[in-house]
Structures are given as structure tokens and as C-alpha cells.
Amino acid sequence: MKIDEVSSMTPEDGKILLKIARESVEEHILRMRVPAVRSIDPSMRQNAGVFVTLKIHGDLRGCIGFVEAIYPLYIGVQKAAVYAATDDPRFLPVSEDELGLLEYEVTVLSDTEEISIGKDTDLSALIVRGVHGLEISKGIRSGLLLPQVMVEMNLSPLQFLDETCIKAGMRSSCWKDPEARVYRFMGKVFS
């Protein structure tokens, strides 16, 4: 999705996406199926990158998503929600007993754009707190942090770049390497 399309999403859109995420996880855990989505706004049929984050009492319980806009938004939410509940390698699959405790967060991503950072770059203008997420790649390694991570961890733009490198399994200043690619995207968060 283009940045203006993501930024124009409404709280009502968010409620719909959160409902899709919750119903998908519950149906999968309880019945091993994903519910059919009946009527959906045409904007939700557009391909978009999306992440679904699950928490319990504010603690991360799973987070999976798609940076690339490979699925229509509503299908991406269904898939990411189920994967976050069952396939995040950091956690055991969500149990039936945990369903009532889950807090859902859906982050809709804009298309990524490559950015270049020079010694005179104003990082706070390039990477806006709570608005931009980052993806850094070099060779076969890549790491991504959603926009809300910068706020939750109280990071400066420089620290956010470093943390994204660490997430990719590289040294913290990897973004300075001429072979590294740095991408930013906008994320609209619904919770």
C-alpha cells in the first residue's frame, strides 16, 4: 500500500482488522480452521504488508508478519495472526487456556523505500518516532523493527538503526557499511 493509503486508514478499519486477527487465532486454536471473511471493504482487498503482534499482560507472546505486500490485507492479517500464535520460534504455540488473555495488535505497512544516510543526514527527519519502521539487509541477513519498537524502547533514530542491525544478527553499526541496504516504511498500528 502507498503511504497515503496506510495513513488514511480509520479506527473503524482497525477494529475490523483486529476482529479478523482474533477470530482467526481462536478458530485455528479451537477448530484448526480459519474463518471465512464475508463482506470486506475493497481497501482491505488490496495487497499490503502487515504484522500481527500478540501480547499477554503487555508481554510479547508472538509476532509474525509480511513486509512484502504479497497478500490482500485481510488474508495477510489472517495468516500473520495464526503464525504469530503458532509458529513464532521464540515461543510455544498459544494454548486454548491463553485465548482469553491475548491482546492483539495489527500493524499495516506501507511499501518500503530505500534510504541513504550520509554524515550530514538529519536522522530525526528521516526516521520519525512512532511513524517509521526500519528494515536493514546485507547479504543473506536482514532485520526489521516496527515503528512502535522505537517508542516502546525509547530509542533515538541512531539507536533504532543500531537495534535493527542487531535484530539482523549483525554488529550494531552495520547500517554504515556501503553494502548494507536500509529501508524505511510507515506503519499504522491498531490495538
Residues 99-120 have pLDDT tens digits of 999 999 999 999 999 999 988 8
> What is the rounded distance in angstroms from the CA atom of residue 177 to the CA atom of residue 38?
48
Residues 43-84 have pLDDT tens digits of 889 999 999 999 999 999 999 999 999 999 999 999 999 999
Residues 145-181 have pLDDT tens digits of 999 999 999 999 999 999 999 999 999 999 999 999 9
CATH number, span 3-109 = 3.30.700.20
Helix (H, G, I), strand (E, B) or coil at 179: coil
pLDDT > 90? residue 37: no
> What is the rounded distance in angstroms from the CA atom of residue 154 to the CA atom of residue 73?
29
Domain extent listing, the chain:
3-109, 113-190
> What is the rounded distance in angstroms from the CA atom of residue 57 to the CA atom of residue 123?
33
- What is 113-190's CATH number, 2.60.120.590, 3.30.1490.150, 2.40.128.20, 3.40.50.2300? 3.30.1490.150
Average pLDDT in the chain: 93
> What is the rounded distance in angstroms from the CA atom of residue 28 to the CA atom of residue 92?
15
